[in-house]
C-alpha cells in the first residue's frame, strides 16, 4: 500500500508512456507545418507572389471549388441517406453498399474517365453526332472543364464522407421525436424539416467539412480538369521552376484556410449529433409510392456517374488498344501486378504503423486535460497541408538533417504518416468514445494499472474501430498521389503513380489497367469500412434481457 501518487482527480488519465510517445508523434507531425511556415515567413518580401489577377483567380477558384463540392456532396449524401434509410426505396440493402463504393475511386481516375466521355469531341459527343442529328458544339461539353467539372467529380467521389455519418445517425439515432411527430399527425414534409434534418445536420456538416478540407488540398482533379487552384499553383511553382520559397509562400493561405475549417469542425463536433439509443427500433420506412421511379432514377444517375461510367470506361480501355503510343506507355501486366502487390503490402504496413501511432494522441485527446488535447491537436497538423507541401518539407528537412535517410522509403512513410495521422486520430477517437468509462474504472478498481487497462480493456474493445480506421487509412494511402510523386525512390512505383504518369500526359488508356488493379485492391478495406458501418461493434452487454 506504499504506492503513493500525486494524482489529479482523473482516473482515465493516461500513463507516462503514452505522453512520451504522443510527444514524439506530435514533434514529427509538426515538422512540415513548422518548416513551411518558417520558410514562407522568410519568403515574404523577398519572393514575389504571383501577380494579383492570377492570385485572385487562384483564391476565387479554390474557395468556390471547396464550397461548391462540399455543398453538392452534401446534397448527394443526404439525399442518398434519406432515401436509403427512411423510405422503401427499391433495393435498399444493395444501395447501402453501392453508394459507399466511390470511396474506392480516386478522384483523379474519375476525372480522367469523365474527360474521355464528356469532353468536347469526346466519346459521348462523337456518338451523338454519329447517331443523331446533333452536330459538334450543339451541347456545351466544354463546360466540363474548370469549376463545374471539378465540382461534380469531387462531389461524386467524396459524397460517401457525407452519406456514411448521416446514414449512421439515421440508423442509430433516436426515432422517438420523429415517431411522436408522426403520431401527432405531422406531414412527411414537416417531419423532414423539423425533426429529421435537425437530427442529421451535425453529421452532414462534419462530412461536408471533410469534403472542403479535401477539396482545398486536392491536386489531381483541378490539374486534370484545367482549374488553377492554390494546390496546382504550389505544384506548378515547384515543378515548373526551382522555387521552393514561392511554393511555401503559396501554402500559407492554404494553411490558414484549413486551420479555420478545423476550428469550425471542432465547434460542430462539440454540438454533438444524435444520441445513440439502446431501445432503438427500426422506423417504419416512408412509402414512396409514385415517387419510387423518380427516386430510383436519381440514385441510378448518381451511381452511374460515379461508378458505372468510370469502371466500364476503364474496362473498355484495358481491353482495347487505341494507339501505338498509348501501347508504348503501357507497363506489362505482370509488372503492374507486381507493383500492385508491392503497393498494397506497403500501404497495409504504413496504415498499420499510422494506426498504432495514432493511439497515443487519441488517448490524450479527451483524457489528457488541456495539455493532452493540445498535444493531440498538434499531431493533427498534417491536415493543414496539401500533400505537395508535406512532401516538399520532408524532402528539405531530411536532406538537411539526415541525408542518409533520403532515397529509401522512409521519407514516403513519414509523409503518409503525417498526412493521414489526423484522419486516424479522428476515427480512433470515435471508437474510444464508444467504450463506457465505467469499464476503465472497473479495471482500475480491480487492481490493474492504467497501462494494463489500456492494453487489456480499451484497445481490445476498440478493435473494430481500429480496424475501420486502418481500412480508411489504407484507402487514402492507396489513392495518395502528390506526396508519392515527389518522394518515391527511383524504381519504387505505386498504382497511383502508374495511373498518373500516363494520365497527366493524356494517355488515358494506359492508365486503365493500373486503375482497375487499384479498384480491386481497394475492395477489401472498403468491405471492412462497410462492416463497421452496418454491423454495430459489440458494445457493452445489454442490461435488459
Interface positions, 122-181, toward other proteins (CB under 8 A): 122, 136, 142
Residue 276 main-chain phi, psi, to 5 deg: -85, 125
42 versus 441: smaller Cβ distance to other proteins: 441
Query: Where are the alpha helices (H) located in 304-408, listed in sequence order?
Result: 309-319, 324-328, 333-367, 369-378, 387-401
In the DSSP assignment, the letter for residue 51 is: P
CB 375 within 8 A of CB 364: yes
Question: d(Cα 83, Cα 77) in Å, to the nearest integer?
Answer: 10
301 versus 446: smaller Cβ distance to other proteins: 446
Question: At closest approach, how far in Å is the CB of 452 from other proteins?
Answer: 7
Q: Which among 74-82, 231-239, 256-264, 295-303 is the span making contact with other proteins, rule CB under 8 A?
A: 231-239
Report 29-48 residues binding other proteins (CB under 8 A). Answer: 48
CB 507 within 8 A of CB 443: no
Question: d(Cα 29, Cα 378) in Å, to the nearest integer?
Answer: 7
Question: At closest approach, how far in Å is the CB of 214 from other proteins?
Answer: 21
Place of cell 511554393: 247
240 versus 282: smaller Cβ distance to other proteins: 240
List the x/- string, 471-500, binding to other proteins by CB under 8 A: --------------xx-xxxxxx-------
Q: Which among 89-97, 248-256, 258-266, 536-544 is the span making contact with other proteins, rule CB under 8 A?
A: 536-544
Exactly one of 127, 190, 193, 239 binds other proteins (CB under 8 A); that residue is: 239
User: Taking the mean position of all CA atoms in its chain, how far away is CA 314?
Assistant: 23
CA angle 318, 319, 324 (to 5 degrees): 75
Q: Which among 73-81, 185-193, 298-306, 318-326 is the span making contact with other proteins, rule CB under 8 A?
A: 318-326
> What length does the chain have?
545
List the x/- string, 408-447, binding to other proteins by CB under 8 A: xxx--x----------------------x-xx-xxxxxxx
Tell me the three cell numbers of residue 39: 520558410
Question: At closest approach, how far in Å is the CB of 319 from other proteins?
Answer: 16
Measure the N-to-C terminal CA separation of the chain; round to a whole number of Å.
Answer: 40
Question: At closest approach, how far in Å is the CB of 506 from other proteins?
Answer: 3
Place of cell 474504472: 441
Q: With H, G, I as helix, E, B as strand and everything else as coil, classify residue 87.
A: strand
Cβ partners under 8 Å of residue 460, min gap 6: none
Q: Which among 201-209, 360-368, 394-402, 417-425 is the span making contact with other proteins, rule CB under 8 A?
A: 394-402
List the x/- string, 51-80, binding to other proteins by CB under 8 A: x-xx--x-----------------------
Question: d(Cα 254, Cα 58) in Å, to the nearest integer?
Answer: 11
Cβ partners under 8 Å of residue 287, min gap 6: 87, 88
Question: At closest approach, how far in Å is the CB of 246 from other proteins?
Answer: 10
126 versus 193: smaller Cβ distance to other proteins: 126
Report 254-313 residues binding other proteins (CB under 8 A). Answer: none
CA angle 235, 241, 244 (to 5 degrees): 65
* Kind and range of the H or E run holding 159: helix 147-172
Exactly one of 232, 303, 362, 476 binds other proteins (CB under 8 A); that residue is: 232
Size of the site for other proteins (CB under 8 A): 103
Q: Which among 32-40, 366-374, 418-426, 459-467 is the span making contact with other proteins, rule CB under 8 A?
A: 459-467
Report 319-348 residues binding other proteins (CB under 8 A). Answer: 322-325, 328-329, 331, 335, 338-339, 342, 346
Amino acid at each position: 500500500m506504499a504506492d503513493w501518487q500525486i494524482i489529479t482527480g482523473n482516473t482515465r488519465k493516461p500513463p507516462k508512456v503514452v505522453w512520451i510517445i504522443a510527444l514524439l508523434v506530435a514533434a514529427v507531425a509538426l515538422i512540415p507545418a513548422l518548416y513551411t511556415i518558417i520558410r514562407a515567413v522568410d519568403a515574404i518580401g523577398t519572393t514575389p507572389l504571383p501577380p494579383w489577377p492570377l492570385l485572385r483567380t487562384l483564391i476565387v477558384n479554390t474557395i468556390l471549388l471547396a464550397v461548391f463540392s462540399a455543398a453538392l456532396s452534401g446534397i448527394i449524401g443526404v439525399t442518398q441517406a434519406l432515401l436509403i434509410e427512411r423510405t422503401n426505396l427499391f433495393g435498399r440493402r444493395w444501395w447501402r453498399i453501392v453508394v459507399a463504393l466511390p470511396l474506392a475511386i480516386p478522384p483523379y481516375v474519375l476525372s480522367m474517365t469523365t474527360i474521355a466521355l464528356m469532353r468536347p469531341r469526346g466519346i459521348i459527343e462523337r456518338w451523338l453526332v454519329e447517331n443523331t442529328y446533333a452536330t459538334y458544339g450543339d451541347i456545351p461539353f466544354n463546360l466540363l472543364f474548370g469549376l463545374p467539372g471539378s465540382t461534380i467529380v469531387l462531389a461524386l467521389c467524396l459524397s460517401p464522407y457525407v452519406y456514411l455519418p448521416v446514414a449512421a445517425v439515421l440508423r442509430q439515432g433516436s426515432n422517438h421525436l420523429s415517431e411522436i411527430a408522426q403520431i401527432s399527425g405531422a406531414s412527411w414534409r414537416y417531419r423532414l424539416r423539423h425533426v429529421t434534418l435537425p437530427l442529421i445536420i451535425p453529421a452532414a456538416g462534419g462530412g461536408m467539412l471533410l469534403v472542403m478540407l479535401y477539396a482545398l488540398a486536392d491536386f489531381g482533379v483541378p490539374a486534370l480538369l484545367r482549374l488553377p487552384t492554390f494546390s496546382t499553383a504550389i505544384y506548378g511553382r515547384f515543378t515548373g521552376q526551382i522555387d521552393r520559397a514561392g511554393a511555401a509562400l503559396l501554402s500559407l493561405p492554404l494553411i490558414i484556410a484549413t486551420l479555420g475549417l478545423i476550428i469550425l469542425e471542432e465547434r460542430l463536433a462539440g454540438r454533438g449529433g444524435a444520441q445513440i439509443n439502446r431501445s432503438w427500433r427500426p422506423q417504419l420506412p416512408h412509402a414512396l409510392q409514385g415517387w419510387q421511379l423518380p427516386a430510383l432514377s436519381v440514385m441510378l444517375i448518381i451511381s452511374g456517374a460515379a461508378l458505372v461510367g468510370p469502371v466500364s470506361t476503364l474496362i473498355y480501355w484495358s481491353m482495347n488498344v487505341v494507339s501505338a503510343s498509348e501501347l508504348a506507355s503501357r507497363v506489362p501486366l505482370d509488372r503492374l501486378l507486381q507493383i500492385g502487390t508491392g503497393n498494397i503490402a506497403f500501404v497495409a504496413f504504413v496504415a498499420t504503423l499510422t494506426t498504432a501511432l495514432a493511439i497515443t494522441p487519441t488517448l490524450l485527446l479527451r483524457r489528457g486535460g488541456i495539455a493532452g488535447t493540445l498535444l493531440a491537436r498538434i499531431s493533427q497538423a498534417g491536415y493543414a497541408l496539401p500533400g505537395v507541401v508535406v512532401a516538399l518539407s520532408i524532402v528539405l528537412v531530411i536532406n538537411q538533417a539526415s541525408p542518409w535517410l533520403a532515397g529509401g522509403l522512409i521519407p514516403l512513410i513519414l509523409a503518409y504518416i503525417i498526412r493521414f495521422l489526423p484522419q486516424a486520430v479522428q476515427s480512433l477517437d470515435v471508437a474510444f468514445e464508444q467504450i463506457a468509462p465505467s469499464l476503465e474504472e472497473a479495471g482500475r478498481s480491480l487492481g490493474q494499472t492504467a497501462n494494463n487497462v489500456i492494453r487489456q480493456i480499451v484497445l481490445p474493445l476498440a478493435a473494430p474501430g481500429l480496424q475501420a480506421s486502418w481500412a480508411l487509412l489504407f484507402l487514402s494511402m492507396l489513392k495518395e498521389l502528390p506526396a508519392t510523386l515527389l518522394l518515391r525512390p527511383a524504381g519504387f512505383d505505386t498504382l497511383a503513380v502508374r495511373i498518373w504518369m500516363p494520365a497527366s500526359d493524356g494517355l488515358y488508356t494506359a492508365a486503365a489497367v493500373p486503375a482497375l488493379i487499384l479498384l480491386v485492391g481497394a475492395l477489401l478495406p472498403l468491405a471492412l469500412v462497410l462492416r463497421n458501418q452496418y454491423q454495430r461493434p459489440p458494445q457493452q452487454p445489454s442490461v435488459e434481457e
